[in-house]
Amino acid sequence: MADEEVTDPKALLEERSKAKCVSQWYEYQKCVKRIENDETGHKHCTGQYFDYWKCVDKNVAEKLFEMLK
């Protein structure tokens, strides 16, 4: 067992869960496109970015905690 490389199941689950959060990803991309010419630096897409990762985290948590039991 010392020769086995330990992998983080969370990273794999995140990749699989991203497909379930496509609508949040598109909202984030639309926001980025909308503000790309903002020269003031006041506009941002932080809310949409966090919404996307909240969706991913929610989907990951359901499966990850089952694996850790």
pLDDT greater at residue 67 or residue 56: 56
**Distance from C-alpha of 24 to C-alpha of 35, rounded to nearest angstrom:** 17
Residue 62 neighbours by CB distance under 10 Å: 11
- Is 35:44 a contact under the CB 8 Å cutoff? yes
**Distance from C-alpha of 64 to C-alpha of 69, rounded to nearest angstrom:** 9
- Tell whether 27 is covered by a domain: yes
pLDDT at 8 > cutoff 70: yes
pLDDT greater at residue 29 or residue 8: 29
- Tell whether 2 is covered by a domain: no
What pLDDT is recorded for position 69? Answer: 65
Q: What's the structural domain count of the chain?
A: 1
What pLDDT is recorded for position 6? Answer: 76
pLDDT digits (tens, 9 = 90+) for 12-65: 899 999 999 999 999 999 999 999 988 887 889 999 999 999 999 999 998 888
- Tell whether 42 is covered by a domain: yes
The verdict on pTM exceeding 0.75 is: yes
- Tell whether 3 is covered by a domain: no
Q: Which domain holds residue 22?
A: 9-66
And the tokens for 56?
A: 């991913």
